Amino acid sequence: MKRVVLFFAEGTEEVEALTPVDILRRAGAEVVIAGVGGTVLAGSHGIRITADIAADEINGGDYDMAILPGGMPGTKHLDASCDVERCLAEVSAQGGFLAAICAAPMVLGRLGYLAGKSAVCYPGFESCLEGASISKSKVCRDGKVITAAGAGAAMEFALALVGALFGEQTEEQVRRSVLA
């Protein structure tokens, strides 16, 4: 079974977090929501989310993918978290996928994961994508890194994550089941 960790902090954009959780679970992934700064957190629009586990309890070596949803100030909390940084390094070291949407690709940029890669983010954060070539796509996959522009691209982002983990056939099955 494919295992995925998604980090959620106070001020995270709910759509960018919950859409990938839902779509990846439909595809058969085990998705764990890791709370940064607590386990009961309010998103950027006041929706309370109860995380499955605290971020400091995550062992990135157990996961095939790590996801950073955007939103403010959620992205700043993710960027400041040593637990997020450690997990990204562990997932990357074992050849797993790193994914971020909206403002959150800035975290990947600061940590060097976007160097020499194509990436996209919410308009205005491009200068934070250190070393990246900025894509005009709403969703961009370059090797083991997947980025997306924002909440409006959340479904396409989630489906791209399914494709990366399970292949095109599963991505198309899930796409048909939700966009019929």
Domain interval for residue 101: 3-167
Is the separation of the CB atoms in 67 and 36 below 8 Å? no
Whether the predicted model's global pTM rises above the 0.95 cut: yes
Residues 6 or more apart in contact with residue 105 via CB below 8 angstroms: 68, 114, 119, 120, 121, 125, 128, 129, 132, 147
Q: What's 74's domain CATH number?
A: 3.40.50.880
With respect to residue 26, please indicate whether it lies within any of the assigned structural domains.
yes
With respect to residue 178, please indicate whether it lies within any of the assigned structural domains.
no
Structure tokens at 135: 């894509």
Q: According to the model, what pLDDT value does residue 180 have? A: 67
Give the CA distances from residue 170 to residues 26, 29, 146, 167, 173, in Å, rounded to whole numbers and listed in that order. Answer: 10, 11, 17, 6, 5
Q: According to the model, what pLDDT value does residue 179 have? A: 84
Number of domains in the chain: 1
pLDDT in tens, the chain (180 residues): 999 999 999 999 999 999 999 999 999 999 999 999 999 999 999 999 999 999 999 999 999 999 999 999 999 999 999 999 999 999 999 999 999 999 999 999 999 999 999 999 999 999 999 999 999 999 999 999 999 999 999 999 999 999 999 999 999 999 999 986
